[in-house]
Structure 1
Amino acid sequence: MRYPSRVTPISYLEANAAEVLAQLAPQRELLITTRNGQGKAVLQGLAFFEETQDSSPD
């Protein structure tokens, strides 16, 4: 399993959503968002998401 290499607070994501999404879209990596120091969500670009769905066993 590959672990996310980027972790960012949700407040940063809220303030910089367009920039974060623009950086995330072309990358094949995950982004963990945190709230109060605890992981809350994982984001990934749509193309990478679709790749992972296509390669999943049925």
Structure 2
Amino acid sequence: MKFSSQIKPISYLKAHAAEIVRSLPEQGQPLVITQNGEAKAVIQDIASYEQTQETLALLKILALGNRQIDEGKVQPAGEAIQRLRERAGNS
């Protein structure tokens, strides 16, 4: 993803806020806002933000699973299913 065309100074944001908000979903890319020549904020449409959050959540789950495998905290699927069936039968 190239951000070079999506970098704008904060003065541009102030002058074109409504236009920026309208165009974000169409562009599908975040807008980087600079202040005094330094990147300070990122603006993106809500659908892209939600997708990013879902992706991060899935990556965290995968990382947790990998860590549990590395720590040996696993058991064969058949054993896990059998335990669940036993619990369900006792309830």
Name the TM tier (shorter chain): 0.7 to 0.9
Question: How far off is 1:3 after superposition?
Answer: 4.7
3-state SS in 1 of match to 2:26: coil
Count of residue pairs the alignment pairs up: 57
Q: Calculate the aligned-residue CA RMSD, in Å.
A: 1.5
Runs of 5+ consecutive residues of structure 2 not aligned to the other structure = 62-91
Counterpart for residue 8 of structure 1: 8
Distance (whole Å) between structure 1 residues aligned to residue 26 and residue 50 of structure 2: 13
3-state SS in 2 of match to 1:29: coil
Distance (whole Å) between structure 2 residues aligned to residue 39 and residue 50 of structure 1: 22
Question: How far off is 1:35 after superposition?
Answer: 0.9
- Runs of 4+ aligned structure 1 residues displaced above 2 Å come to 2-5, 25-28
Structure ranking higher in strand proportion: 1
Within 5 Å, give how 1:1-58 maps onto structure 2: 2-5=1-4, 6-56=6-56, 57=59, 58=61
Distance (whole Å) between structure 2 residues aligned to residue 46 and residue 4 of structure 1: 18
Give me the TM-score of the superposition, normalised by structure 1. Answer: 0.81
Percent identity for Structure 1 against Structure 2: 42
Question: How far off is 1:28 after superposition?
Answer: 2.2
